[in-house]
Amino acid sequence: MDAIPIRTARRGDVPSLLLLWSAMLEENAKFDPRLTPHPDARESAAGSFAQRVDDPDEVVLVAEDGRVPIGFAAGKVTPGNGFQVPGKLGQITDCYVIPARRRRGAGRRLASRMVDLLVGKGAETIRLQVVVKNAEAEAFWASLGYAPLEVIFERAIPKPGGTPPSATA
């Protein structure tokens, strides 16, 4: 099996990145309906991806099978919060491989290349978020040496006169 090529995204990749990103959001919404994409999410993301691809402080990678994008990863380095270490934090903001192409090394190659690039930009620690009910993603990141750090709690506020939504959707 040949290694899946990983390359830096270009402006021409934005339509494919949007399709992959949308698929990632739809998959996440299956784990928890609170993660359902906003109707305008894709339109908003179109401009965002174009900026991210052009921004030297951001890293956007594409995994290809032949010339067909099958996955992507995005990340950036930000200053630490000033209260805790690290001084420079690498954040993997997105990492997705289409389900039909998983378990063939694309995710590992995307993650590895992303870490290399973020460390090259000064990252002292790498952080990412995983949807809590996505056991496959949790296992993937744990296999790469990542461990849970925080749990995010959320509670929806009911509209006046409405019933409160369930906290365990």
DSSP state of 152: -
Torsion (CA) 120, 111, 80, 133 in degrees, nearest 10: 180
pLDDT tens readout for residues 133-157: 999 999 999 999 999 998 888 888 9
pLDDT tens readout for residues 89-108: 999 999 999 999 999 999 99
Spatial separation of the C-alpha atoms in residues 59 and 160, rounded to whole Å: 43
The tokens describing 150, both together, are 């925080």
Domains along the sequence of the chain with CATH = 6-143 (3.40.630.30)
Task: Say how far residue 134 (Cα) sits from the centre of its chain.
Answer: 13
Q: What is the pTM of this model?
A: 0.85
The tokens describing 20, both together, are 């992959």
pLDDT tens readout for residues 31-47: 999 998 888 888 888 88
